[in-house]
Amino acid sequence: MLLTSYFLAALAIVLAWPTPLALSKAKWTARAPVAAVLLWQAIALGGGLSMIGSMLVWGLTPLGNDLISALHAGWLLVTGDTSVQYPGVVHLFALSTALLFAFHLVLTLVRASWRTTLQRARHRQLLRLLSNPSQTRPNTLVLDHDLPVAYCVPGFNGSVTVLSKGLLTQLSAEEQRAVISHENSHLDQRHDLLILAFTAWNEALPWLPTSRLALDAVRQLIEMLADDKALEVVARPVLLRAIVSVASSIASVGAPKNASSAATGEVVGMPGGEVSSRRLQRLLSPVAPLNRLQNFVVLSCTVLLLVCPTVLLIAPRLLSW
Amino acid sequence: MASLGDLERSVMDLLWDSAEPLTANDLRDALAALGTDAKELAVTTVLTVLARLEKKGLVARERSTRPHRYTASSSREDHTVGLLNDALGTAQDREAVLARFIGGISADEAVSLRAILDSVKTV
Of A219, A220, A244, nearest to B110 by CB-CB distance is A244
Q: Please state the φ and ψ torsions of residue A20, each to the nearest 5 degrees.
A: -60, -35
C-alpha span between A253 and A255 (Å, rounded): 6
**Residue B107 distance to chain A (closest CA, Å):** 5
Task: Name residues 73-92 of chain B within 8 A of A (Cβ).
Answer: 76, 79-80, 82-90
Q: Is the pLDDT of residue A259 over 80?
A: no
Residue with the larger pLDDT of the pair B6 and B88:
B6
pLDDT for residue B92:
47
**Residue B63 distance to chain A (closest CA, Å):** 25
Give A-chain residues touching B56 at CB under 8 angstroms.
Answer: 125
Give B-chain residues touching A260 at CB under 8 angstroms.
Answer: 89, 94, 103-104
Size of the A and B interface in Cβ pairs below 8 Å: 180
C-alpha span between B18 and B12 (Å, rounded): 10
Residue with the larger pLDDT of the pair B94 and A301:
A301
Give B-chain residues touching A162 at CB under 8 angstroms.
Answer: 83, 87
Mean pLDDT, range A140-165, rounded to an integer: 89
pLDDT for residue B96:
55
- Residue B113 pLDDT grade (very low, low, confident, very high; cuts 50, 70, 90): confident
Q: Is the pLDDT of residue A316 over 80?
A: no
Neighbours of B42 (CB within 10 A): 10
Find, in chain A, the residue whose alpha carbon is nearest to that of B100. A151
Task: Name residues 24-63 of chain B within 8 A of A (Cβ).
Answer: 56, 58
Which of B110, B111, B112 minimizes the C-alpha distance to B101? B110
State percent of chain A over pLDDT 70: 90
- Supply the ipTM of this predicted assembly: 0.83
pLDDT digits (tens, 9 = 90+) for A223-257: 999 999 999 999 999 999 998 888 887 777 654 43
Q: Which residues is A140 bridged to in the sheet? A: A161
Q: Chain-wide mean pLDDT for chain A? A: 87
Q: Strand B69-72 and strand B59-62: pairing?
A: antiparallel
Give A-chain residues touching B101 at CB under 8 angstroms.
Answer: 149-151, 179, 182-183, 242-243, 246
Tell me the three state secondary structure of residue A143: strand
Sheet of strand A131-133: strand arrangement: A131-133, A140-143, A160-164, A150-153
Lowest mean pLDDT among A31-45, A97-111, A248-262, B49-63: A248-262
Contacts of residue A128, Cβ cutoff 8 Å, sequence gap at least 6: B5, B8, B9
Estimate the crossing angle of helix A18-25 against helix A33-60, to 10 degrees: 180
Mean pLDDT, range A76-90, rounded to an integer: 84
Contact B114, A288 (CB under 8 A): no
Mean pLDDT, range A201-219, rounded to an integer: 92
Contacts of residue B115, Cβ cutoff 8 Å, sequence gap at least 6: A273
Residue with the larger pLDDT of the pair B100 and B8:
B8
Tell me the three state secondary structure of residue A160: strand
Give A-chain residues touching B113 at CB under 8 angstroms.
Answer: 240, 243-244, 247-248, 275, 280, 284
B117/A240 touch (CB, cutoff 8 Å), yes or no: yes
Q: Is the pLDDT of residue B100 over 90?
A: no
Element (H, E) at A141: strand A140-143
Mean pLDDT, range A141-152, rounded to an integer: 90
- Rounded to two decimals, the pTM is 0.87
Tell me the three state secondary structure of residue A156: coil
Mean pLDDT, range A275-282, rounded to an integer: 82
**Residue A261 distance to chain B (closest CA, Å):** 6
Give A-chain residues touching B103 at CB under 8 angstroms.
Answer: 219, 223, 260, 279
C-alpha span between A91 and A60 (Å, rounded): 7
pLDDT for residue A181:
93
pLDDT digits (tens, 9 = 90+) for A12-46: 999 999 999 999 999 999 999 999 999 999 999 99
C-alpha span between A31 and A228 (Å, rounded): 11
pLDDT for residue A227:
93
DSSP string, chain B: ---HHHHHHHHHHHHHH-SS-EEHHHHHHHHHHH-STTTT--HHHHHHHHHHHHHTTSEEEE-SSSS-EEEESS-HHHHHHHHHHHHHT-SS--SSSB--TTTT--HHHHHHHHHHHHHHHH-
Contact A148, B88 (CB under 8 A): no
B14 at A interface, C-beta within 8 A: no
Residue with the larger pLDDT of the pair A263 and B57:
B57
What single DSSP character describes residue A162? E
Q: Please state, in angstroms and as integers, the Cα–Cα distance from residue A63 to each residue in A53, A95, A97, following that order.
A: 15, 12, 17
Mean pLDDT, range A259-267, rounded to an integer: 33
pLDDT for residue B37:
59
